[in-house]
Amino acid sequence: MSQPFEIQFDFHLGPSGLIIPLKATAELHHSEPYYRIENIQLAGDNPAANHAPVLPEFEIKRVEQDSTATWVHCDSEKETLLSIAAGNAIEKTMFNKG
């Protein structure tokens, strides 16, 4: 496992048009590369406050689909708006570190 890092992303609630800004901790697991996303909080919350996560933790991985890379949930192998948003935030965070 690698060092956990914080990601921030907007979670779009489909056709409702509602967008929820979230922050979470991501950690890379190396056996079969995937990321565990945990401690998912509303972005902008007081960081000193001890809030319960707004979503349960989940695991995602980057896969090739139809010659395009996408992010899917490890358990279902399906992409969702949540897996794509969190995966894109991981890519953005990792790219900006270099």
Ranges of each domain in the chain? 5-97
Among 38, 73, 76, smallest CA distance to 57 is for 38
- pLDDT number for residue 37: 97
Predicted model pTM:
0.84
Per-residue confidence of the chain (98 residues) as pLDDT tens digits? 578 999 999 999 888 989 999 999 999 998 789 999 999 999 875 655 667 899 999 999 999 978 899 999 999 999 999 999 999 999 999 877 64
Structural contact between residues 37 and 86, judged by C-beta atoms closer than 8 angstroms: yes
Edge-first strand listing for the sheet containing 19-29? 5-12, 19-29, 34-42, 58-65, 68-73
Residue range 37-59, pLDDT digits in tens = 999 999 875 655 667 899 999 99
